[in-house]
Amino acid sequence: MKDEINRKSQPLLTIKGLKTEFRVQDNKVLRAVDGIDLAINSGEIHGLVGESGCGKTVASLSVLRLISPPGYISAGEVLWNGNNLLRLKKGEIRKIRGKEIAMIFQNPQGSLNPLYTIGEQIASIIRLHKNISKREAREEALRLLQEVKIPDPESRVNDYPHQLSGGMCQRVMIAMSLSCQPKLLIADEPTAALDVTIQAQILDLLLELRGRFQMAMLLISHDMGVVARMCDRISVMYLGKIVEESDAEGLYSNPKHPYTQALLKAVPIPNPSEKAAFSLLKGDLPSSIDIPSGCRFRTRCPKVFDRCIHEPELESVDQNGTMVACWLYEKE
Ligand SMILES: Nc1ncnc2c1ncn2[C@@H]1O[C@H](COP(=O)(O)OP(=O)(O)O)[C@@H](O)[C@H]1O
Ligand SMILES: [Mg+2]
C-alpha cells in the first residue's frame, strides 16, 4: 500500500500555510490554525493528532470552508485537483463538499435530523448530488446500509435516529458520506463518543471501506492509540502548528519531537481520559490568544534550551520524509 502511494507524485489534497483565526473579545485574535502544511495522497489515511484545543477541528473545517464569523481564514492554500478551494465561489465549493470530500463528526446523533427516518435522510443526500428518482434513491440507501453493515437494513431504514445506538448512528453517517463515493473522507474524532468495543468496530469498518473504495482519509483524533491502528502517515499538531510529521511506524518507534514523545508516553494508561493522557506534560495548554514566542512548546518542554527562544521550522530530518520542528535536530 505504502509503495503504491509513494509512486504517485501528485498528492490528492495539499494544504499550504493555512491560517485560521477568530476575532474574540477585546478585539484580540485567537490563532487557532497558525500556518500548517499537510499533504494527503490518494488512498492514504493521514492522522492529525494533538490534545484538545490545538486546532484540529478548525483546520479540517477550513479545508471545506466551513468556518463562519468571528472566524476567518487569513492565509494559505488548499489545493484539490489543481484548484485552490479557498478561492472557489460558494456554489463551486458546495459541489465539492459531500461529493468529492465528505466529512463525519464525533457526535453522529447530533448530525442527524430527529424528524426523518434514516432512509429518508440518506436518500435525500443522494438526490442532492444525483439526478435519480425517490424510489431509486431509497434502493441506494438500502444498499449503503448494507455496505456499512447495519443488521437488518430493510427494517432499520425506517428507523428514526433516536431508535439507533451511537455506533449505529455513526454507521449511518458513514453510509451518507459514502453515497457519492468521495475521494477523501475527513473523520473528526469519529469514535470519541463511543465505547471501546464499538469504537474498534467502526475503525475496522473505515479501514475496510478505504481498502474497497481507495478512499483517502484525514483522521482526526486526540488518541494516539486510534491513529496508531489506522494511519499511514501522521501529523502531530500543537497550538495551531504541525510539530512533527512522519510515517506511522517511524512515529511510534522513534518519535522525535518532545511533544510527540509525551503524547506516546501517555498511551498505555488504561482507559485514559483526555486529562489523564496529557497529565505528563507540565502546565496547561497555553491559550491560542497568547501563543508563546519562539518555540510554542517551550513553556512545557522537558528539553527546553536557549535556542528555543527562536521559532523552529518544520524540517526534514531523515530519508523517510520525517519532518520535525525542534532545535534538537538542527542540522550543522
Ligand atoms: N467558534 C469559535 N470561536 C472562537 N474560538 C474558537 C471557535 N472554534 C474554535 N475556537 C478555538 O480555536 C482553537 C482550536 O479549536 P479546535 O480546532 O476545536 O481544537 P481541537 O479540534 O484540536 O480540539 C481553540 O482555542 C478553540 O477555543
Ligand atoms: Mg476537535
Contact present, 202 and 194 (Cβ < 8 Å): yes
User: What is the predicted pLDDT for the residue at 6?
Assistant: 47
Of 28, 29, 58, the one to substitute when testing ligand 1's pocket (max ligand atoms within 8 A of C-beta) is 58
Q: In this structure, which ligand is nearest to the CA of 278?
A: 1
Residue 107 CA to ligand 2 centre (angstroms): 11
User: What is the predicted pLDDT for the residue at 316?
Assistant: 95
Residue 106 CA to ligand 2 centre (angstroms): 8
Please list, in sequence order, all residues whose beta carbon lies within 8 angstroms of the beta carbon of residue 98, skipping any fewer than 6 positions away.
125, 128, 129, 177, 180, 182
Residue 247 CA to ligand 1 centre (angstroms): 27
Q: Whose CA is nearest to atom 10 of ligand 1?
A: 32
Of 18, 19, 22, 189, the one to substitute when testing ligand 1's pocket (max ligand atoms within 8 A of C-beta) is 22
What residues are in contact with ligand 1 under a 6 Å CB criterion?
22, 24, 30, 32, 50, 52-58, 71, 288
State the cell numbers at 182. 468521495
User: What is the predicted pLDDT for the residue at 1?
Assistant: 46
Contact present, 170 and 117 (Cβ < 8 Å): no
| 220 Cα nearest atom in ligand 1 | 21
User: What is the predicted pLDDT for the residue at 164?
Assistant: 94
User: What is the predicted pLDDT for the residue at 205?
Assistant: 96
Residue 324 CA to ligand 1 centre (angstroms): 24
DSSP 311: P
Residue 51 CA to ligand 2 centre (angstroms): 9
Residue 321 CA to ligand 2 centre (angstroms): 26
Q: In this structure, which ligand is nearest to the CA of 50?
A: 1
Q: Whose CA is nearest to atom 3 of ligand 1?
A: 22
Q: Whose CA is nearest to atom 6 of ligand 1?
A: 22
* Interstrand relation of 323-324 and 315-316 (parallel, antiparallel or unpaired): antiparallel
Cα–Cα distance, 205 to 209 (Å, whole number): 6
User: What is the predicted pLDDT for the residue at 273?
Assistant: 52
Contact present, 12 and 40 (Cβ < 8 Å): yes
Predicted TM-score of the model (pTM): 0.92
Cα–Cα distance, 242 to 38 (Å, whole number): 9
What is the set of domains in the chain, with CATH numbers?
A: 2-90+226-329 (3.40.50.300)
Residue 55 CA to ligand 1 centre (angstroms): 6
Measured in Å, how far apart are the chain's first and last C-alpha atoms?
35
User: What is the predicted pLDDT for the residue at 9?
Assistant: 67
Q: Sign of dihedral through CA atoms 257, 261, 267, 272?
A: negative
> ∠ at Cα 213 (199, 9), nearest 5°?
110
Neighbours of ion ligand 2 (CB under 5 A): 56-57
What H or E segment, with its residue span, contains residue 242? strand 241-247
Q: Residues of the chain whose pLDDT is less than 70? A: 1-9, 267-280, 332
Please list, in sequence order, all residues whose beta carbon lies within 8 angstroms of the beta carbon of residue 197, skipping any fewer than 6 positions away.
none
User: What is the predicted pLDDT for the residue at 232?
Assistant: 97
Of 98, 184, 64, 180, the residue nearest 131 (C-alpha):
180
User: What is the predicted pLDDT for the residue at 280?
Assistant: 64
Q: Whose CA is nearest to atom 20 of ligand 1?
A: 53
